[in-house]
Chain A
Amino acid sequence: MIWIMLIISTLSAQAAQPIHWGYLIELSHQHEFYKINEPILKPKESWQNLFTFSYLDRDLKQLKDCVFYKVPGEGLGTLKIKTIYAFDKCDDYVLRAGDKEWPDIKSLQFNIHENIVTFDISFKNYRSEKWLAKFQKAFTKPSPAMNLSSAEFKSPKTLLLAPHSSVIVASKAGLLKADFQCHQISEYCEEVKPSVCDQCPEGWYEIPNGCLQGPKFCGHHSCGSKGKPACRRGMVWQRRDSKFDCRIDSSFAYCQKGLSVQCEGQKAFCR
């Protein structure tokens, strides 16, 4: 029975969309104007970036498919897919040739369901196709709790990858360098930029500054020793409200026995 199903399905396979659309990771961009279940009609003859889908190839390279559509006008429409490195911009590839193109499109519309984007495509010869882009179950970061592992806290337990490797070479440098500031916090405890410290290859260190989150840097250091940043001690153990300003109350940090916490700006160091 299975074999019959397989033979029939192989003979009439219509899956023109890329194989890796079976396990995408993220819908990282969606055109802001087009609505679901409505044919895309304007602006005529223009290239539009309908969607960007992220996925991992079998070498765990993070890639994205830019899905471009040339809206039909005088001529017919064209769908094109360009696969690029995840940190490059689709906009830079709008007018370049796609890795694969499907011309002669009379009309195209899409729909979005939970974890699935569908495309209904009608071609010149009245042939129609339905394409499916399926996402792996979205990862929701769990609240940390007893018995939770760091791996489960950061990522799904399994990640499905594309069956093929990609020849795309990353246009940006690999991992973050040592001492790169991966989490920027102002002296007023405001987050200037969200943390990217999970991208530091060898971990990160923090210079405590009396804020709930202090500035962080890629790499490692021995906190608490002479001339080094102080170590973080926390702002709850005091069991009192305090202004944890380096000059007023530096109990949020500590140094090894014999040294004292001193401040450079709001940052705590050991002298």
Chain B
Amino acid sequence: MRPRPLAPVRVKHIDPPEKLFTQVIEASQKKILKLWEEGDRYFPKEGTRCEEEIQHDNTVGRSYYQCNPHFWQCYWQGGVKEGPALEVELSGQTFHVVAKAAFAPIPAFSQNPRYYDLFKRSELGLHLNYGYMVELIVKEIPGLSQPMLLADTCRDTYLPERIYGYGKVKDEKDEGFIWDNFGRNLFIDKFYVTNRQVNEWRILNGEPSKIEINRGQWPKPALLSLKDQIKYCHFYGKRLLEAKLFDAASMSPADLKDPKPSRVLRPETPWQRDHSRSFLGMARINPDYQLAPLDCQLAQVQGCHERYFSTDSATWMGLHYSLGFYPESLRNFIEPSKNLKMSSRFFLPASEWHELGVLSNWNGVQEKKLPVAFRCYEEVAP
């Protein structure tokens, strides 16, 4: 009799904890992203309990908490609710995913270990220039953790390809300076750069002593010199916003479906083509004009309550604060001396400054009587 050949021994395969862990983390990604990108939805009515991270007051709109690392920190250290955890159902089991305080404290903020770390690219390879490092664990699967990079997807928004106009024109027949951005990927910051964001830049730059320590100031516009505004934007691979891009983002096109219109209009406000039909126009005619709450949401002018991160001032492409709010620094390579959007909360509603395409000059130095905010834009290479 021939000996029976040996059958290969296949080890009975049972999934290792690593595999289960990876599956749970994968399944939790939607919830993690929701918490990160939509922090405003998780913000409790009664406010947060994390004074070192957030000092909320009603002058700050909830959109400030979107992609906000301080909200992430506050949430996981229990400042939003007790025992925070993201529940994930997998194969009939419930797992609890939580962030780990895996990062060193940032003494300038607090002595607590951090639930995130600031990331700035220092090597070739990654397409992202910056982001936030976090680390997750699954309560039911001890001994394993998952580091993860979260992108800042809330900061800027795309400027569609089309023909745009810059500045004002003398009459309707005058086309003025027109240009186009076909073949260019332009993304503009939706809001002013805040003190919170500048603090992160200071920390990454090794200048923690220069950070703004008053937490109430963190959501407010950062007031840097022109030189530092440019440095800040460059640090993140961006550029200080240009006047012609500001106009493009603020002046609503007559027909969104036609990116190559035969005539490029120059609306005088982001909401109405004709300035005289807006509340700003009415205020010019009527010196006793009473500002309505909606007026102040569209353009925060003198007489309005101070408020940040309100979203009602959005233009056609998602830019906020194009009239009113703060004076804004702009680079202008067409007319370099016109580098300041003067329209702001420091001028009465009847002021001539409150009109698109009207610019002033700034010497690049911050002054108490005329603080100047800024924002960046990014051109993503093809």
Task: Find out whether the CB atom of B13 lies under 8 angstroms from the CB atom of A86.
Answer: no
Task: Find out whether the CB atom of A182 lies under 8 angstroms from the CB atom of B182.
Answer: no
Task: Find out whether the CB atom of A12 lies under 8 angstroms from the CB atom of B145.
Answer: no
Binds A, one of B108-116, B220-228, B230-238, B277-285: B230-238
Task: Find out whether the CB atom of A12 lies under 8 angstroms from the CB atom of B11.
Answer: yes
Task: Find out whether the CB atom of A149 lies under 8 angstroms from the CB atom of B155.
Answer: yes
Query: Which residue of B has the minimal Cβ distance to A145?
Result: B158
Cα of A169 to Cα of B161 in the assembled complex, Å: 42
Given contacts A224-B333, A234-B179, contact A146 B317 (CB under 8 A): yes
Task: Find out whether the CB atom of A256 lies under 8 angstroms from the CB atom of B334.
Answer: yes
A121-137 interface with B by 8 A CB criterion: 122, 125-130, 132, 134
Task: Find out whether the CB atom of A223 lies under 8 angstroms from the CB atom of B333.
Answer: yes
Binds A, one of B19-27, B76-84, B349-357: B19-27
Task: Find out whether the CB atom of B16 lies under 8 angstroms from the CB atom of A150.
Answer: no
B6 in contact (CB, < 8 A): yes
Interface string of A1-22 (1 = CB under 8 A from B): 1110110111011110001001
Residues from chain B with Cβ under 8 Å of A176 in the complex:
124
Residues from chain B with Cβ under 8 Å of A126 in the complex:
6-9
Task: Find out whether the CB atom of B335 lies under 8 angstroms from the CB atom of A256.
Answer: yes
Cα of A233 to Cα of B133 in the assembled complex, Å: 38
Task: Find out whether the CB atom of A149 lies under 8 angstroms from the CB atom of B333.
Answer: no
Cα of A195 to Cα of B10 in the assembled complex, Å: 49
Task: Find out whether the CB atom of A12 lies under 8 angstroms from the CB atom of B6.
Answer: no
Residues from chain B with Cβ under 8 Å of A149 in the complex:
152-158, 187
A174 interface neighbour in B123, B150, B378, Cβ under 8 Å: B123
Task: Find out whether the CB atom of A60 lies under 8 angstroms from the CB atom of B126.
Answer: yes
Task: Find out whether the CB atom of B151 lies under 8 angstroms from the CB atom of A157.
Answer: yes
What is the distance, in angstroms, from A262's C-beta to the closest C-beta of chain B?
16
Task: Find out whether the CB atom of B185 lies under 8 angstroms from the CB atom of A201.
Answer: no
Task: Find out whether the CB atom of B9 lies under 8 angstroms from the CB atom of A213.
Answer: no
Interface string of B14-51 (1 = CB under 8 A from A): 11111110100100010011000100000000000000
Residues from chain A with Cβ under 8 Å of B378 in the complex:
150, 203
Task: Find out whether the CB atom of A233 lies under 8 angstroms from the CB atom of B9.
Answer: no
Counting contact residues on chain A (CB < 8 A from B), the size range is: 35 or more
Interface string of B301-329 (1 = CB under 8 A from A): 00000000000000001100000000000
Given contacts A128-B8, A174-B122, contact A198 B17 (CB under 8 A): no
Task: Find out whether the CB atom of A148 lies under 8 angstroms from the CB atom of B157.
Answer: yes
Residues from chain A with Cβ under 8 Å of B152 in the complex:
149, 151
What is the distance, in angstroms, from B335's C-beta to the closest C-beta of chain A?
6
Q: In terms of DSSP, what is the predominant structure of the interface of chain A?
A: loop
| Chain B count of residues within 8 A CB distance of the other chain | 84
Given contacts A22-B22, A151-B152, A154-B128, contact A58 B147 (CB under 8 A): yes
B18 interface neighbour in A19, A161, A225, Cβ under 8 Å: A19
Query: Which residue of B has the minimal Cβ distance to A182?
Result: B381
B86 in contact (CB, < 8 A): no
Task: Find out whether the CB atom of B32 lies under 8 angstroms from the CB atom of A220.
Answer: no
B85 in contact (CB, < 8 A): no
A239 in contact (CB, < 8 A): yes
Task: Find out whether the CB atom of A130 lies under 8 angstroms from the CB atom of B181.
Answer: no
Cα of A257 to Cα of B333 in the assembled complex, Å: 9
Task: Find out whether the CB atom of A160 lies under 8 angstroms from the CB atom of B25.
Answer: yes
B274 in contact (CB, < 8 A): no
Task: Find out whether the CB atom of A159 lies under 8 angstroms from the CB atom of B149.
Answer: yes
Task: Find out whether the CB atom of A9 lies under 8 angstroms from the CB atom of B16.
Answer: yes
B153-203 interface with A by 8 A CB criterion: 153-158, 160-161, 163, 177-185, 187
Given contacts A9-B16, A19-B18, A146-B158, 15 further A-B contacts (CB under 8 A): A3-B140, A129-B11, A144-B185, A145-B160, A149-B187, A151-B131, A158-B149, A159-B149, A161-B147, A163-B145, A199-B124, A204-B381, A213-B382, A254-B334, A256-B335
Chain A positions within 8 Å of B, measured between CB atoms, are 1-3, 5-6, 8-10, 12-15, 19, 22-23, 56, 58, 60-62, 86-87, 122, 125-130, 132, 134, 144-163, 170, 172, 174-176, 182-183, 195, 197-204, 212-213, 216, 220, 222-225, 231-237, 239, 254, 256-257
Chain B positions within 8 Å of A, measured between CB atoms, are 6-20, 22, 25, 29, 32-33, 37, 93, 95, 119, 121-129, 131, 133, 140-141, 144-158, 160-161, 163, 177-185, 187, 234-235, 237-239, 260, 262, 317-318, 331, 333-336, 378-382
